[in-house]
Each structure stands twice: as structure tokens, then as C-alpha cells.
Structure 1
């Protein structure tokens, strides 16, 4: 169940309420006249089955609400309502499977923004990855994977292609490129400092590292794991269940590969740079393709469910 809080100009209030009230996915509607100061107007509150949210959001957008008012959408974790239960039963699909495209797209834009927080996490994760490689520590590799913020921008590439959001495609691409370049550059400087101090040697980069050699050994499994992990990650991002994201973070080696690129650059080890770059590209490519395919499938499924819901709404209105 989702809660809609809509600030609407008074001249649109009746139209919004008339659209929401008969909808079978809506379990409750409340109108508070004169409650909105900015924009000046009224406040409309509604509880909506998650499965039916996309069509309602589209109708609000068609009314021009985004230009004259505003709407916020919040998940309702716990609720007691017979009408809410019946609304979810009437609406085709499952709430756990439902994709609220406005929510997914907003999150993709927000977490794909290139800012100091993103660059800081990228750099810190890559630095930890570099230390993990020098120490041949799987635990530190996992820590670097979890800390890295790159998954959502990668998933945003697939979302941008499916939803034809080319501004998002450009934003996510720039964020990924700049983020990896900055993180690798700073980690390279740190590796050079470690080399000058004698803390890191060439043997640490080219020597045998049985615990972390998978980072610079790209093969078919690197691509396959990236595809599977990204599909699971996208499902977690688009559904009401987010538990799968931690598994995604520790399944792909984008951040560790970037750390090894930095070490290779610092010690002029061409094989480390090349193999790790190939590993990085394979992971990003696999995750992007998997994200695109998963989202395209979800869009296809939910477009059919939307058609069924539209038919249900028409039948209910004919009965009235």
C-alpha cells in the first residue's frame, strides 16, 4: 500500500478527487480544503494499492499537477483497513512485484548524481580495494565491494534505455566515468606514496595472490556473475523487497578491479592494468545488459497488467 499526499490548486481539487475516488486501486481519499499554503490550494490524501500506482501517477501528470502542485508517494509499512485489503485484491498483480516507475526513476536520478559524497565513497572503496590486494585479503575486498556506490548508476543505464530517459543515460554515464577516473587517480597517488615509503613493493602487485587473483582474471564467469547479480539487484530496486542488494554488492568486482588498475599504474605493470580494466568493463557491460533486460521484461509484464486494470476500471464505471 502507498500513501499519496497531493498539494493541489483549488481549481484542480475536484478533478483530482473525482479521478481517485472511483478507482478500484484506491482505498481511501481525504480532501482538506485550504490546507496547502505553497502551492496555494488544498491537500488531497489517498491510500493506493501499489499495483495500481503507475496509472494514477500518469493521470496526475496528464492533469499537469507537476506544474501547478506537487505529490509525494510514501510506502505504508503497516495498515489496518478492510477497504485497503479489498483494493489490493481487486487490483491485478502482486504488491511485492509491482514496479512504481516514478519511484524507480526518481531514485535513479538521485543516486546517479555526481557529487562529493559519491566521489568520496568511490575513492574510499577503491583505496580499501587496493589495500586488500596488497594484503591479499578477501575480507577487505568484500568490504570494498559493499562500500562502493556504483551499482545504482549502472542500473540507471538500463533504466534509461528502457524508459528512453536520455538525460538519465548521460548523467549515469558521466557519473560512472568520472567516479572511476577520480577513484583510480587518487588510489594511484596513494600507491605511489606507499611505494616511496617502501610499504608497497612490486612483488605485492605481480606476486602470487591466491585470495584475490579473481580480481584480475577475467573470464566467462565474470560476465555471467555480473549478469545474474545485476538482475537480482534490479529486482530488489524495483520491488518492495530490498534484501537482495547486499548480495549484489559482494558478487561483482568493479571496485576491486579499479583498485588493481591503480596499483598497476603506480608500479607500471601493464598486465595488471589491462586485465583489471577488462574485468571492470565485463562487469559493467554485464550489469548494464542484465539491468536493461530485467527492466524491459518488467515493463512488458506491467503494461499488460495495466491493460487489465484499465478494463476493470471501465467495467466498474459502466456498472455505476
Structure 2
């Protein structure tokens, strides 16, 4: 059987680099083109030095992409929606890693992104790109969106509890997300300058972060609030979701919910031990991995549950989920090319 021909538009950033790393080792895929306007003609490894001796590909012109089987779009937010009709002529299947097609409601997009969507007729054609929530839809899909890394951590922290119906949704849910610097992308700014970014614990969005919209949409929650804090970490995100259970919910019930869910999912790992350094989810050991480590703690007196989820923001929060989605979309084994378990120590 011939290999699936894939191309990546916008491959010079961190997410594009992760896509390349994963797809180069994917047994069913041949990378046809990778594009970058700002690094046109350069070897890929000049921007992604970890790929030296792995590929001799050069960045090509994004305006000269030839037809392929699957097209990955890894451009800044706002660009895909302006050219989606053109890209749809290039490939029958598209995975867009930007925020452009994550939200189904154009008014919700305007509320959280502060501008009118340029292709609202396309919003309903994309499946939201988190396989744990939309696996069966992806098997039939032609267009799949990306996911917000913070939203992914929040959604996977809360999803099993929301699905099981054990939360008191009359009370607000607060999600505190700690994030690494790679979330800001490869283009530097004043806040990412090393003397300013190093050693920080800086809350940069107390409320109203854009990724909140994805949690509202995917979990159907009305009273959910995300707070984002930068920490001295390059890769990784840790969500701690604070919620309250309904009366009569026990810790045993929560154990059952999490165990059943984690056992049914290839990339969800339940981390809740009584002792040891690694008794709770920790993003550090997930670097380069598509795994999600989840856990919880429960105060039966107050009915407060703290649900935890740790991810690599560039992997499960971006490129890893996209390749997992491609596997489902194209009929491959879901875990193909994604079984790297992370490093320890690191």
C-alpha cells in the first residue's frame, strides 16, 4: 500500500517542528512538503536542530503547495480561515492546528477572539480535535480542528466527572492552569525575553482566556473560569480544576470513574499514589509524549474535588493530538507514531 502523502503549511514554529518529528517516524506517512515564508529555502534542521540527519527537506513557498492526501495547517491564528477554500482544493482532508475552527458558534468566536470570523460557514464542518471526546466522529471526518493546550488540560481534568454526572453544576468551577514558555510560540516578545521570563510565576490571564470557550463548548459548562499562570518550565501544562460534587458522592465513586475511563483510553494514565515523589500528575516527565496524566483529590466534608491533568502542551496540546486525529481519520491504529513515553530523569 502506498504511503499517505502529507504536507505542513507553517512548519517552522514549535508545533510545526513537533509535527515533523512525529510524522518522520510514522510508518504510514510520506512528508511531501513543508512550508515557511520566513525561512524559504532553508533546510528544516536549521529551525529544528533535533531533526538534523533525519530529513533533507527544505522549507518551500506556502503559495506553491501541490495536492496531497492530508494537509496540516500550523499557522498563526486567523490565517487559515482566510484561505480555507483554497486549502480545501489542495487536499481532501485537513487538520488545522490554529484556533480558527475549534468553535462551532461564530458569536462565541467573536466574544473570545475579538473579531468576526471570516469563514463562519466552515465552522460546522470541522470536528473538534480532541480524540477522547470525538473519536467516532473523527473516523468519518474530512476536517478536524486543533485544540487549545490549556483547554486540553482543563477538559481532560474535568471530562470524566462531567460525563459521570457527579458534579454540582450550580456552583462555579475554577481551573488553575500552570504553563510553560513554549506555549507562547517560537516568535519572541518582551515577556518571553530570558531575563524577564526566567524563574517567573506570573499570572498572565486571571479570567477570560480564549481557551475558556473550548471548555464551555466541549463540556457544556456555563460557570467555568480559567486562570493562566506562567511558570519556569519550557514544555508542559498542569490544570488543577476545583469543583464540588453532588451530595452522597464518595471517593470510591471517583476512583471507579477514573479507573474505568483511564483503562478505556490509550493515552490517559491515572496517577494517584499514597507515597513517593511521583504520586500526582507532573508535566515534566511527559515532555515529548502524547500521554495525559490525570489524578484527583477529594474532601468529603466540603464535597470539594480537585481534578488534575498534566500534558506536554506541544504534544497532547497540539501536534500529538493532531497526529492521533489523523490516525483515526485515515483508518490507522490510533497510537501509531505516538507511543514515546517521555523521559525520566529529565
TM-score scaled by length of structure 1 = 0.27
Query: Over alpha carbons, which structure has the higher Rg?
Result: 1
Identify the structure with the greater helix proportion.
1
Identify the structure with the greater strand proportion.
2
